[in-house]
Amino acid sequence: MNRSIDYERPALAVFWSYIRPHRGAFTLDMTLSLLAAAVDLIFPYATREAMNRLLPTKLYMTFFAVMAILLAAYLLRAWFQYLITIVGHRMGTLAEADMRRDVFRHMQSLSFSFFDRNRTGVLMARVTSDLFEIAELSHHGPENVLICGVTLLGSLAVLMTVNRKLALVLTLLLPITVGFALRQRVRMEEANREVKVRTGEINAAIESGISGIRTSKAFAAEKAEDEKFDRANEAFKKSKVRFYRAMGLFNAGIEASVGVMQVACMAAGGFLIMRGEMDLVDLLTFSLYIAAFLSPIRRLMQFTEIWAQGSAGFGRFLELMRTKPEITDAPNARELADVKGEVRLDHVSFRYRDGESVLENVSLTVAPGETYALVGSSGGGKTTICHLIPRFYDVTSGSVLIDGQDVREVTQESLHRNVGIIQQDVFLFAGTIMDNIRYGSPEADDRAVIEAAVRAEIHEDILRMPDGYDSFVGERGVVLSGGQKQRVAIARAFLKNPKILILDEATSALDSVTEQKIQKSLDVLSRGKTCIVIAHRLATVRSADRIGVIEDGRLVEEGTREELLRRAGRYATLEHAQE
């Protein structure tokens, strides 16, 4: 996120913050636009002077010289327009890239709870299509405002010198057109905002349909997915039609206003000629200036759709940039350094936003270098505990401490550097195996990556792949088996080598033989480290130093395996049931 930009300021000020770094291109674009507008203003005036002064006095050579100059001016204007298109769009693209960089970085800083509430496809629409339309607005917006403003005011000023009465007729009609345009523009912007919401829903439906294609085929649910997409698509069509109705009304209203202006001015001009207060040359000049006057109005008509789309997109951009992370570093947060590995939960309770309580008054301590297993029924809160330790979420009450330091009082970066987590649902990036393993330590060399793969029992599998470590894993690692993905994630943890290791069903996708091999590697990895293990298969945690039983958000039992079996309580019941 660009820390130099205050996103709470008015939208126009934020918008200018992205134009300012490219003010050289912006200034050139505006200068060329001003020169192009000047050519449009000069032509009618030069024509009037030629017809009033040159032709009556038979200065034919001078007349044709003036016409040649005007031709050169219009050719120069065409060259200006060529440069405006290149420079303006380049500036817009640079501003768009800056916004996309900032919004992506900002999303990286947002808390897990934000992504719990927002679908991936909707967020993708905000980073892609919304920003493209903002780029168009950043180029065409200032350019059109300048050209149209200069042309309108310049034409009106010259018309006042030609015939004040006729110019007054035009001046009286202009506010009606402007008022209608402003009112209808607001409606178009609102309609376009709804279009963007529906576009995000379509993107979400597509993303969900593609990501879950194997599941939908496995359950023969293609028809249900089609119907889900059709509903989103139908909502999009209706919102788009409403936008085009608003745009159609705008265009029709402006065209009607333009027609009224032309007819009114021509009728008033004819009346003034009949009374001898105006001549034909002035009426012709007036007609040319009316054309120059109405041209920017039509230009604004074409620009209105870009404005509606771009301003709605920028509004959604600001909405996202103004979203604050729910979890932030404290002002005096310090680095978590020289970690020994003690983990303590002190009377911890937790509930998700507007949700039921997940944990109630849980207290436990894991000593440095100890392996502590969390077992119990699904949904009891085991994974939530593991999410609270690296501070993916903040506790509702109580505290989580590492080496006696509250995790809310240390920097998140140092906390995450010292806490490693391998989850049941492994995520692999759409890159090579080498890239995915190196994610655990970006500065590691190839030898370190290979060593981590060997210790995770995945090295031999990688060598059998067509491109070895340079083999692509596909979207979310789809070309790998479940066990292979799990072992790549374990290799990543070997490379990171954290002081505290959390294993959330880390070997659940492995067969028994491979699980035994991996377990040996994990035993090596966990030496000298604090290891917190979540497991449903109790056979995998029998060697743990201590075991805690979590049921309905509470720690109901704690002790060594032998102690828990002697108590014949909840743990004994679970183990006997599995046996």
pLDDT reported for residue 374: 92
Q: List the strands of the sheet with 397-402, edge to edge.
A: 357-366, 343-351, 397-402, 405-406
For 93-109, give the DSSP string.
Answer: HHHHHHHHHHHHHHHHH
The encoded tokens of residue 411 equal 């920097």
Q: Where do the CATH 1.20.1560.10 domains begin and end in the chain?
A: 11-321
The CA-atom distances, in angstroms, between 34 and each of 28, 196, 475 are: 10, 34, 50
Specify which residues 410 forms β-bridges with.
Answer: 334
pLDDT in tens, the chain (579 residues): 445 788 888 888 888 888 888 888 888 988 888 888 888 777 777 776 777 777 777 777 888 888 888 888 889 888 988 888 888 888 888 888 888 888 888 888 888 778 777 777 777 777 777 787 787 777 777 777 777 778 777 777 777 777 777 778 777 877 777 777 777 767 777 777 777 778 777 777 776 666 666 556 555 666 777 777 788 888 888 888 888 788 788 778 777 877 777 787 778 778 878 877 777 777 776 776 676 666 777 677 667 767 777 777 888 888 888 888 888 888 888 998 888 889 999 999 998 876 678 899 999 999 998 999 998 888 788 888 988 998 988 999 999 999 999 999 999 889 988 988 887 777 788 788 888 888 888 888 889 989 888 888 888 888 988 888 888 887 666 777 777 888 888 888 888 888 898 888 766 656 677 677 667 767 777 777 899 988 877 877 888 889 999 988 899 999 988 988 888 888 888 888 776
Name the residue with tokens 């620009």.
303
The encoded tokens of residue 3 equal 């820390």
Q: With b meaning 16 or more CB within 10 Å and e meaning fewer, what string describes 423-443? A: bbebebeeebbbbbbbbbbee
Name the residue with tokens 């020289």.
338
Helices (H), 212-279: 213-218, 222-274
The arrangement of secondary structure in 343-578, i.e. its CATH architecture, is 3-Layer(aba) Sandwich (3.40)
Nearest by Cα to 132 from 317, 320, 319: 317
For 25-78, give the DSSP string.
Answer: HHHHHHHHHHHHHHHHHHHHHHHHHIIIIITTTT-HHHHHHHHHHHHHHHHHHH
Q: Where do the CATH 3.40.50.300 domains begin and end in the chain?
A: 343-578
Answer yes or no: pTM beyond 0.85.
no
Burial label for 26, CB within 10 Å (0-12, 13-18, 19+), is buried
DSSP state of 277: S
What's the CATH superfamily of 11-321?
ABC transporter type 1, transmembrane domain (1.20.1560.10)
Q: How many CA atoms lie within 13 A of 150 on its CB side?
A: 18
Name the residue with tokens 């001016």.
73
Q: How many CA atoms lie within 13 A of 551 on its CB side?
A: 9
Sign of the alpha-carbon torsion through 164, 169, 175, 177: negative
